[in-house]
Structure 1
């Protein structure tokens, strides 16, 4: 771990120690993270700045995830946190999650429209923050881009433009900031957050094997981080009464599993990793064929980067210098060697069973 991080960690630990014990004991994880300067309050629920310490932890986690999937030889793709509006429309996201989507608007008017905007803005600024009018936004128009709701969404149209998949399918490594409109005081439910994904495109057998492999590897990573591990069947938060039917179907077909860790509420559990089988949904939407002409199936493992980072602070404390030595070594030491050794140990029982 670099010395800059150690210095910042010491400063954060000192700040936390200066809080009175009575106040400290009543603080939520969000309060504690803000008081220690690990998260930065922007005045908007679910929208935070991140300190150097927080970013160093997250980057160490990111490195570990890279080593965990290196043997898959994935194609690495990185996109900005926005995607083309037509691709977003084609994804059918609005059918299932209209309440989470975020669009991007901009001023596209003339001089008269600009004057109306400024007049409305002056009126709004004369009010308190919570009472401000949004009349100036009437001069804003939708642009051709929207905020990315999940890291994997931009890759499907890219894969479609390439034509048929190779015989072995494709595996893609993608990382992006994502947006979901669900403001909350729970720091594990941010409006802007990073999602790291490995995405598999291929036959149903290839995708199902991929998902099972990552359930095992994701559990291994969390155990190496010395965090509690629980895998459970899950469903996405589909919108409305019709969404309940879709959610029930998703659970009945066991299409989604989540790795749960207590984060903000020690009595509850937060989904920090998800393991998803989309069947041929995206392959059919974007007409992605396999080598034999069949519609491609897809699946992904998603790592909630902020959520896992928050879980580390929840379970190991705000002073990273006091974290268990093995956790620190995994994040900031010889990460590749530790991941490789753990994977060999995990695979040894399976190999012995095959031999028997």
Structure 2
């Protein structure tokens, strides 16, 4: 663990932890690919103008990190006591995302998608939290997402399927997860969707104790409108996403298996393996 001012805000994963995170990501990615998702790759930062379209700096200013180049006149570019002082950074034109799914909407911006589109991607996410707590809460962590775009029915069917998969996977690992409706100010600037959010939760978290390690999220047509993503009918696309915090899963498995990461890796592989009957039915006759 490392971080400024003594905070455990960042993690360098060792070989065993890296192997476990990669296996988890392979499994979650595989769930998406099995449903027909196409995998895309996004950069770890975006222009502020892109993130601003999603009200990121209005609804989540407390989480935001931005990046700018150094001011090279005088000595402002020199850090003092591990920090760059006021005036050391020029205007910040890039933002560090706090969620992975933004890349999926920007990828499809201005385009047309089928009613049953599905993509998956993983990215580094960055959050300016009020405190950090090892692997449980980091300033930078990896998030794998499966993002549905298309009809509203499609977006909800994807969330229902993945809810079942998450619960079954956790049960196979012997991990008890709660499913809790989460308060999220995402639609704070949209009165119609904000009201609907109050009437019907749009985000559910899967929690191990007080730690959310996965979530399913309904956005309705918010991103479709903001990125001008349309269906064949001309209607703006609806979206939803399933998110997995990889280091948070690592934290839970480390605790559950009493720091024996080899045992955790074996258990993860066993939990993800198809049942014998399902495997047999998949074999060609």
| CA 1:330–1:142: 2 relative to 1, 3 Å | farther
Gaps of 5+ in 2: 280-285
Q: TM-score, normalised by structure 2?
A: 0.86
* Larger radius of gyration between Structure 1 and Structure 2: 1
CA deviations on 1:28-73 (whole Å, 9 max, x unpaired) are xxxxxxxxxxxx3344332222212211111111122123223212
**Aligned counterpart, 2:57:** 94
CA deviations on 1:170-189 (whole Å, 9 max, x unpaired) are 10101001001005242311
**Aligned counterpart, 2:108:** 159
User: Map of 1:195-210 to 2, 5 A cutoff?
Assistant: 195-210=143-158
* Secondary structure in 2 matching 1:259: strand
Aligned residues: 275
- The structure with more helix, counted as a fraction of residues: 1
Paired residues of 2:66 and 2:93 also in contact (CA < 8 A): no
Separation in 2 of the partners of 1:323 and 1:49? 19
**Aligned counterpart, 2:214:** 273
Between 67-76 and 289-298, report the one with greater CA deviation. Answer: 67-76
* Secondary structure in 2 matching 1:228: coil
| CA 1:228–1:286: 2 relative to 1, 3 Å | same
Gaps of 5+ in 1: 1-39, 263-268, 346-356
CA deviations on 1:177-226 (whole Å, 9 max, x unpaired) are 10010052423111101100000001111111111111111112222222
CA deviations on 1:75-113 (whole Å, 9 max, x unpaired) are 10111211122111112111210110110011255xxx2
Paired residues of 2:32 and 2:119 also in contact (CA < 8 A): no
Paired residues of 1:104 and 1:147 also in contact (CA < 8 A): yes
User: Map of 1:118-197 to 2, 5 A cutoff?
Assistant: 121=78, 124-125=80-81, 134-135=84-85, 137-161=86-110, 163-166=111-114, 168-187=115-134, 188-197=136-145
Separation in 2 of the partners of 1:52 and 1:250? 42
| CA 1:71–1:107: 2 relative to 1, 3 Å | same
